[in-house]
Structure 1
Amino acid sequence: MILLSMFIRRLIRVGRLTIIDHNGKRHEFPGEHEGPSAVIRLHDAKVAGEIARNPRLKVGEAYMDGRLTIPEGTLYDFLEVAVRNLAWHNRTRSRLALKLQKLLTAAQHYNPIGKAQKNVAHHYDLSDELFSLFLDEDRQYSCAYYHDPSDDLESAQEQKKRHIAAKLLLEPGQKVLDIGCGWGGLALYIARETGADVTGLTLSREQHGVATRRAAEAGLADRVRFKLLDYRQEPGVYDRIVSVGMFEHVGNLHYGEFFAKLDRLLKPDGIALLHTIGSADVPGPVASWIRKYIFPGGYLPSLSEIAPHLERLGLWMTDFESLRFHYAETLKAWNERFQRHRDHIRDDLYDERFCRMWEFYLQSCEANFRESFLTVFQIQIAKSIGAVPMTRDYMLDWERAHAPDNRAPKQGPMMAAGE
């Protein structure tokens, strides 16, 4: 406990953390600034030292194994304290620390074709029923788009698809490639709403099977097809390319390869839309717990890592949007649905350890999107300077025309979601 106490005293600058050790003794760690408070309990003598030596991995493992519990308050209370204080320290890092972190990051994310498929299977080939229990009806497993925090998940995910389609300037008959198509919801939406011909790529056998079946059931199999294929092996040429929630799995060592392939796949007057989790901080590694248990090979880009590749290829970044707080609201909705079905997931699909792992994943990610440097980038990319209009009015016009009530999206107080 001595080593952990030294670490926590240096860490806590905002709010308060109370630790109850395995003997029942309370240790108080007040910060210098007002903020959230939390209480955790450690259940054996070894766990304190393990956490002190490797907190980014061992906190999550201790919670999964029941060696760290929350006797007062909630798991999110603890994660909010932890993330807010880590973010505070990140803002005060030295230049040397930043350089060392960048060097470490560069060596961690080699992701060739065979390894990429194994990494995807680790997460996306879990029980089909699990995803149906916490996602929306269309199975959108990426950041939704909230006009207002009061939007329900189904509405927010429909708004996300509409927001993305508006940026693609789609016309009937155009050929569209969806890299990382998931369960096919966006591809089917684009085909229905615009009359385009869509090809979706995935590395998940589970997703490929579901997406193919959905296209047939929707009567769209003649205009929407799905391939179990790595994007690097796709031979076609397309008018439009969209990629949602896939770029996080590419790995920073492969960014040049990704954008070079996108350049080859896109027609001279083509437009692409990249939707990815990103970091507003300098480049850095994904937390080791997330890499080990949730997304092997995952890496979250900074804008400074993306832009140089576009510049070298002569590609235009014709529009950029940072979706702040939207993923926090999405993760909150997913966790609420997961908790409603938690007993069933524990008893019939997996076990208690899996449930603790999954809720730690969902809630720690929510805390990071609210309190740290995570956001979602939407980057519109074109090969030609004249591929898109001079102003952004066309986006709102398209969204207005395709909204269910045919009205302009309302502008709600999204800032309040992060307060």
Structure 2
Amino acid sequence: MLSEKLLDLAFTRAVTHGTLEMTTASGRLSTFGDGSEPRVSIRFTDLAAQMALCLHPELKLGELFVDGRLVIERGTILDLLQLLLQDTHGTLDELPLHRLRRIRSAMMRRAENNAARSRRNVAHHYDLDGRLYSLFLDGDRQYSCAYFDHADASLEEAQMAKKRHIAAKLMVDPGHSVLDIGSGWGGMGLYLAQVAEAGSVKGITLSQEQLEASRKRSATACLQDRVHFELQDYRATEGSFDRIVSVGMFEHVGVASYDAYFQASRKLLKEDGVMLLHTIGRSGMPYPTNPWITKYIFPGGHLPVLSEMMPAIERAGLIVTDVEILRLHYAYTLQAWRERFMAHREEVMRLYDERFCRIWECYLAMSESAFRWQDAVVFQLQLARRNDVVPLTRDYIAEREAALKEAEENMELMRSA
């Protein structure tokens, strides 16, 4: 049977460490790997599912798992992804039609994410029931890569360290005006106002749910006079800012809009200003975003490589003053999110349904695997309009982090007093 032969070929190439047991729809049992852990057993429920995986593995693996046509009888979806990716650093790319899919995906990602499409894409993921995110994120609802500055850091500590690290690179001083592009639930903006003592912070988002939550948080902290949040596209934003920060938003911009994004950033940044861009990317060659993730989780998204970003930065007249690449930090972050999500799975079921739970289990596992066994990383790019606004060495980052940490501790003492 053709689909069985193709699956045998693909799994033989992919699984060299660990053990994969596959039961086909006809009942045939095959084993791949070296017999070690992890051990995963899968079963196909129908012949069409087998051929679908052969023809479009990156899309169909997730769809078949969610639909229950690819049954994982031993192990988890993350265990299966580990077997398939840990040695190949890819997917089942040798299966038919892969080259044609790459060409088609490359053409599709050139479509511009205009303001209307961007808002629809954001609403698809971020305007879900707010209770969902409270079940697996930290208390500040930081929905981006944490920064594990010591080995035993908790998720909460690592997310605080991320904010501290970004604020240090931004060199925010008392009185500075800050623009937060893609402000999420407001945590970064509130940190810059409360701890770094920014004079004013404007956060912009395309999510109605996040906007309402951010405004409530600003009011609760009595910061309405200094921290404002707006439902606004970056292309429509006006003003002039000492600092610009953007965390976990650039992934949604799309290649065709990179010029517009960086040109808008330069226009909004003062001549002696500093910008910090924190975005997921890839360390390898340009490659289409996983089609399952694009279809079900983040429509319009793209993970850039530096060679895609740099030309647009240069054309905008911005200078790259610092680049840092965070590698496994997001894998640890996603592991914490996945474990918390699975621990609260019954509560998610009450909010949505079984299919939603399976989609999100798959999403979190796929994302974690991309950072553990593929080339997904996080870029932190520091940008400026002039080459003399950032110190000559990176010593200032540690110095400012220490001062910010002391300010955090003082604020905590005041709260507990």
- Normalising by structure 1, we get a TM-score of 0.90
Take 2:407 and 2:368, find their aligned partners in 1: how far apart are those partners?
31
Q: Secondary structure at the match of 1:195?
A: coil
Q: Which amino acid aligns with 1:2?
A: L
> Displacement of 1:57 after TM fit?
1.1
C-alpha offsets along residues 63-117 of structure 1, whole Å, 9 cap, x if unaligned? 111121221222211011222355257999xxxx999947842432421110000
Deviates more, 1:273-282 or 1:40-49: 40-49
Amino acid at match of 1:377: F
Letter matched to residue 340 of structure 2: R
Q: Percent identity of the aligned residues? A: 46
Counterpart for residue 300 of structure 1: 303
8 Å CA contact 1:319–1:381 kept in 2: the answer is yes
Instruction: Look up the SS of the partner of 1:380 in the other structure.
Output: strand
Residue type matched to 2:247 in 1? V
Q: CA deviation at 1:237?
A: 1.1
Name 1:179's counterpart in structure 2: 181
CA distance in 2, matches of 1:13, 1:66: 23
Partner of 1:5: 5
Q: 1:257 to 1:155 in 2, by over 3 A?
A: same
Q: Which residue of the partner structure matches residue 336 of structure 2?
A: 333
**Alignment correspondent of 1:415:** none
Query: Quick one: which of 318, 323, 329 aligns to 2:321?
Result: 318
How far 1:148 moved relative to its partner? Answer: 2.9
1:17–1:30 contact (8 Å) kept in structure 2? yes
How far did residue 406 of structure 1 move?
A: 8.6
Change in 2 beyond 3 A, CA 1:2/1:102: closer
Tell me the equivalent position of 2:212: 209
CA offsets 1:355-388 (integer angstroms, 9 cap, x no match): 1110110011111101110000000001000010
What is the CA–CA distance in structure 2 between the aligned matches of 1:36 and 1:229, rounded to whole Å? 47
Structure 1 residues 121-130 or 4-13, which shifts more?
A: 4-13
Kept in 1: contact 2:278–2:381 (CA 8 A): yes
Partner in structure 2 of residue 160 of structure 1: 162
Could you list the runs of 4 or more consecutive aligned residues of structure 1 that deviate by over 6 angstroms after TM superposition? 89-92, 97-100
Question: For residue 361 of structure 1, what is the aligned residue in structure 2?
Answer: 363
Residue by residue, what CA displacement relative to the aligned partner does 1:218-270 show, whole Å, maximum 9, x if unpaired?
Answer: 01110000000011000111110000000000001111111111111111111
Q: Contact 1:400–1:406 (CA<8 Å) still a contact in 2? A: no
**Distance apart, 1:17 and its partner CA:** 2.8
The answer as to whether partners of 1:14 and 1:34 remain within 8 angstroms in 2 is no
- Which amino acid in 2 is paired with 1:105? A
Partner of 1:245: 248
How big is the shift at 1:303?
A: 0.5
**Residues 1:63 and 1:404: Cα distance change in structure 2 (over 3 Å):** farther
Aligned to 1:410: none
Instruction: Give 1:149 deviation, angstroms.
Output: 3.9
Indicate if the aligned counterparts of 1:133 and 1:337 stay in contact, CA closer than 8 A: yes
Aligned to 1:280: 283
Question: 3-state DSSP class of the match of 2:276?
Answer: strand
- Structure 1 contact 12–85 (Cα < 8 Å) conserved: yes
- Call closer, same or farther: CA 1:176–1:73 in 2, change over 3 Å: same
Q: Which runs of 5+ in 2 are unaligned?
A: 410-417
**Is residue 274 of structure 2 the alignment partner of residue 271 of structure 1?**
yes
Counterpart of 1:370 in structure 2: which amino acid? R
CA separation of 1:13 and 1:75: change in aligned 2, threshold 3 A = closer
Q: Secondary structure at the match of 2:314?
A: helix
How many residues are paired up? 402
Question: Take 2:311 and 2:151, find their aligned partners in 1: how far apart are those partners?
Answer: 35
For 1:100 and 1:23, the matched residues in 2 are separated by 29
On the 8 A contact 1:244/1:274 being kept in 2, the answer is yes
The one-letter amino acid of 1:142's match is: S
More displaced stretch, 318-327 vs 302-311: 302-311
- The one-character-per-residue Cα deviations of 1:313-368 (angstroms, maximum 9, x if unpaired) are 3321111100010000000000111011101211x111111111101100111111
Distance 1:35 1:274, change over 3 A: farther
Indicate if the aligned counterparts of 1:144 and 1:153 stay in contact, CA closer than 8 A. Answer: yes
Which residue is 1:24 aligned to? 27
Corresponding residue number in structure 1 for 2:414: none
How many angstroms apart in 2 are the aligned matches of 1:192 and 1:247? 25
- Aligned residue identity for 2:106: T
Match of 2:400 among 388, 398, 407: 398
* Aligned ranges 1:113-192 → 2 under 5 Å: 113-192=115-194
Distance in 1 (alpha carbons) for counterparts of 2:311 and 2:37: 38
Alignment-derived partner of residue 354 in structure 2: 352
C-alpha distance 98-74 of structure 1, shift in aligned 2 (>3 A): closer
**Contact 1:102–1:284 at 8 Å: present in 2 too?**
no
1:352/1:91 CA distance change after superposition, 3 Å = closer
Given that residues 14 and 84 in structure 1 are in contact (C-alpha distance below 8 angstroms), is that contact kept between their aligned partners in structure 2? no
| Aligned residue type for 1:135 | L
Q: Look up the match of 1:107.
A: 108
Q: TM-score, normalised by structure 2?
A: 0.91
1:21-68 alpha-carbon deviations (Å, 9 max, x no partner): 23433122337x988553211122321111111111111011111121
The structure-2 alpha-carbon separation of the partners of 1:224 and 1:8, relative to structure 1 and needing over 3 Å to count, comes to: farther
CA distance in 1, matches of 2:347, 2:266: 46
Does structure 2 retain, via aligned residues, the 8 Å contact 1:106–1:253? no
Aligned match of 2:237? 234
Q: Check whether the contact 2:321–2:384 (CA below 8 A) recurs between aligned residues.
A: yes
